[in-house]
Amino acid sequence: MAEMSDVFFVDGMRTPFGRAGEKGMYWNTRADDLVVKAIIGLMERNGEVPKDRIDDVAIAATSQTGDQGLTLGRTAAILAGLPMTVPGLAVERMCAGAMTSVTTMGASIGVGMYDLALAGGVEHMGHHPIGGNADPNPRFVAEKLVDPGALNMGVTAERIHDRFPHLTKERADRFGMASQHKVQAAYEAGKIQPDLVPVAVKDAEGAWGLATEDEGRRPETTLEGLASLKTPFRPHGRVTAGTSSPLTDGATISLLAGSGAVKEFGLAPKMRMVSFAFAGVQPEIMGIGPIPSTEKALKKAGLTIDDIGLFELNEAFAIQVISLLDHFGIADDDPRVNPWGGAIAVGHPLAASGVRLMIQLAAHFAERPDVRYGLTAMCVGLGQGGSVIWENPFFDGKKKRK
């Protein structure tokens, strides 16, 4: 008889993230090959896990077409050399695709149906621009269900500034600059590289190279430089390229396990799933979505925001993150928030980003036994938010040593 189980994040890896477009390092690389490379890297690092014991593979993509279509979980599993007995599926929840892959597989493990699963996501925004292949139902506009601007994420970010005037452009600029500086510091300290899977890439001349680092970083960013940037979403607006995540290509993957599999194979989990939640908000201000989803996840866990010792929040836009922090009474520069920077610097390959947040939180947990709970959260296009609360298996109850 199947029994309820704890759900563990055993490990996670990702490709380096590349700039989308013809000048980006993945222009001549297929989206599905990015996922395959990530899966191979993760399984090699966790060789004690028998490939034939993987119960399912869930891979998310926002634009499920071309080289990131065709039931990605199944095709990627086959291409990565998993046995033909391992099934797979595709997931789509725009920006929260990989997060939904994790919660869906985690729920299956939690009710005892699965022992082990792979969950992740990919987005090749160079090959598949967001919404480029979509055909929204005309009723959305004709019946005024959703404002047409809601399909433009930058416009929705400007509307958060409108709604909360005290969340100024200057605050967003400072947050964006800090993200760039924190990512660079993390790279210089060797914090991010261990979880990256190198990818062979070919340039326009046919020469081969190796992608080993996130491509879009701008560590030289200054407040003066940010203040001078154009506001592409609105004349005299407040959202700029410096406070937005760049268009990005990349893939992420995680290994999840139940209590029985952890014991059977002697695994050393990096995190335990405590709760998760998704919530809907008006699409016109989709960036506030993580506020209600986090409140729901906290309630399900029996926790308060004060119990959260580390935050990995997806920086789709700076204003989106600081609106959540403001709601919960957390300072923009609180050291618990995105300690190694975030998507403004490394990029946001839509459906892949949720697992990147988890990979970084897991790495923080290993260094912070004084922290018991952490949060991964993100806004989602068309008016949603997603949040997952995790517990640190290394928690020792001692206060942080200075």
Catalytic site residue from 124, 161, 364, 379: 379
Please say if 181 is a catalytic residue: no
CA 392 to chain centre: 19
Q: Could you report how far apart the first and last alpha carbons of the chain are, in Å?
A: 49
382 close to 389: Cβ distance less than 8 angstroms: no
CA dist 314 and 378 (Å) reads 5
Q: How many CA atoms lie within 13 A of 201 on its CB side?
A: 27
Residue 379 annotated in active site: yes
Annotation marks residue 327 as catalytic? no
Residue of 95, 124, 128, 364 with catalytic role:
95
The catalytic residue among 124, 127, 348, 364 is 348
Q: Which residues are marked as active site?
A: 95, 348, 379
